[in-house]
C-alpha cells in the first residue's frame, strides 16, 4: 500500500525546488507510520484506496504545517488574532474510520 514519491508529489503539486525528496520521504514515512499504528490493513480495493487517500491528506497537512510556528496560522492577517492548525482532520477521519483499531486503556 505505500505510495511512491512521484504519486505523492503529484497529489501535492509541490515541486522539488520547494520541497526536497528527502523531506518529502521523511514526511511520507512518518505519516505512514502514524496510519499503520492506528489502522488495520484492509484487503478490499476500496479500503486500500480509502487509506491511500487518507495518507495523502496526512502528508498534505504535514507539508502545509512545516513552516508554521507552533502550528499557528494567520499571525499577521487574522481578524481575531492567530489561530491554531486543527489537530482533527475530518477527511482523514472519514477515510480511516472503518479501519481504526480500537484501543482501551
Write the pLDDT tens digit of every residue in 57-85. 999 988 887 776 655 655 555 566 656 66
Any idea where the domains of the chain sit in the sequence?
5-95
| pTM, rounded to two decimals | 0.77
- Asked if residue 11 has pLDDT above 70, the reply is yes
Q: What's the pLDDT score for residue 84?
A: 63
Whether residue 99 contacts residue 51, with contact meaning beta carbons closer than 8 Å, is answered with yes
Residue 39, pLDDT score: 93
pLDDT in tens, 17-71: 999 999 999 999 999 999 999 999 999 999 999 999 999 999 998 888 777 665 5
Rounded to an integer, what distance in angstroms lies between the CA atom of residue 58 and that of residue 89?
9
Set of cell numbers at residue 50:
480509502
Amino acid at each position: 500500500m505505500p505510495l511512491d514519491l512521484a504519486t505523492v508529489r503529484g497529489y501535492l503539486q509541490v515541486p522539488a525546488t520547494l520541497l526536497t525528496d528527502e523531506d518529502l520521504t521523511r514526511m511520507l514515512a512518518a505519516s505512514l507510520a502514524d496510519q499503520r499504528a492506528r489502522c488495520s490493513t484492509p484487503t478490499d480495493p476500496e479500503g486500500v484506496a480509502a487509506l491511500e487517500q487518507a495518507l495523502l491528506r496526512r502528508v498534505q497537512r504535514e507539508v502545509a504545517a512545516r513552516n508554521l510556528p507552533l502550528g499557528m496560522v494567520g499571525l499577521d492577517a487574522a481578524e481575531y488574532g492567530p489561530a491554531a492548525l486543527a489537530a482533527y482532520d475530518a477527511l482523514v477521519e472519514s477515510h480511516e474510520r472503518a479501519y481504526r483499531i480500537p484501543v482501551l486503556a
